[in-house]
Amino acid sequence: MKERNLKQIDIVRLAEPYCKENNTRLGRNDISQYVAGKSEPGQHKLYILGKALNVSEAWLMGYDVPMQAESPAPSNTYPLDDIKFVNVPVIGSVAAGTVCLADNEIIWYEPTDYDDVKDGQEYRYLTVKGDSMYPKFEEGDLVLVRCQSSVDSGSYAVVLIDDEEGVIKKIVYGPNFIELHSINLMYPVRRFENENVLRIWVFGLVRSIKRKL
């Protein structure tokens, strides 16, 4: 850090005790990648860097907040104008077998109002692709998904069919069938009956939409 005349190796050494405490590795290559803007630290490494340098995690992320850390905070939360935020992982897609907690699927972290995710469940953001759910969901929107394997009939959910990539659909249950509804009328309802209902796997429930301006 230029502000403190620190070299990358100095930062690594300062972070060592926090790395051991959190069972996380942080090396010179990581620091180099962050400084060059080639990658961003995940929530655990962001916390470690904040503790090691005694700076605000929000400041490290580039927000216009004071640099100095005012008080200890949970590993993935930070105050911003009296609102507590938490970093929620963004994943590019949901493929067959994707596990909600798989770190290798994470692209970046999106600051999210803590009140939206404070129920203790696991959450992920997914980027909307295509126009099958237009106009409620537009391509490029971020949808906040609560990871769960079942949802109520009439809910919007991220679902997978066989080995297809996960999609957002309105899911409707019947006595011996499941229907997946698109909002865009150009896309027909997909109906699965009897044993074919087993072809459908629910990844999670859509809780909210974040539209990038």
Instruction: Determine which one of 132, 136, 153, 182 is catalytic.
Output: 132
155 as an active site residue: the answer is no
153 as an active site residue: the answer is no
Q: What are phi and psi of 138, to 5 degrees?
A: -105, 150
Instruction: Determine which one of 169, 170, 208, 210 is catalytic.
Output: 169
Distance from C-alpha of 88 to C-alpha of 100, rounded to nearest angstrom: 12
DSSP string, 86-136: EEEEEES---TT--TT-GGGEEEEEEEEGGGSTTS--EEEEE--SSTTTTT
Distance from C-alpha of 107 to C-alpha of 139, rounded to nearest angstrom: 17
According to DSSP, residue 213 is labeled: -
Q: Which residues are catalytic?
A: 132, 169
